[in-house]
Amino acid sequence: MKTACNTAVVSTRQGLRGWGWFVAIVLLVLLADQASKWWVINSFMLYESRPVVSGLFHFTFILNTGAAFGILAGAPASWRLYFFVAMTLVAL
């Protein structure tokens, strides 16, 4: 006979199992990201490009001193810090 308590335990276990898959996938993606960065840094010359899927996807070694997509790359580091702290505070 099922009770409310047993049903809650079963649904909690199913919820945790779903989160387990999510966490495993996130960890695999992070591992692949870091492994690809390590590979590029240790085996490419600066600005070298190698095809992964010819004509569609290439790994290219570049250095980005800015934030995402090179935002504020030419700005002094101290200015970038104040800018991103201010934007974070505005977002909050």
**Angstrom distance (rounded) from CA 23 to CA 32:** 14
Predicted confidence band of residue 68 (pLDDT cuts 50, 70, 90): confident
Q: Taking residues 26-52, what's their average pLDDT? A: 95
Q: What is the per-residue pLDDT for 78?
A: 82
What is the residue-averaged pLDDT of the chain? Answer: 84
Q: Which pTM value belongs to this model?
A: 0.57
CB neighbour burial string for 14-51, b if at least 16 within 10 angstroms, e if fewer:
eeeeeeeeeeeeeeeeeeeeeeeeeeeeeeeeeeeeee
Q: Please say if the pLDDT value at position 7 is more than 60.
A: no
- The yes-or-no verdict on residue 66 having pLDDT over 80 is no
For residues 21-30, average pLDDT: 94
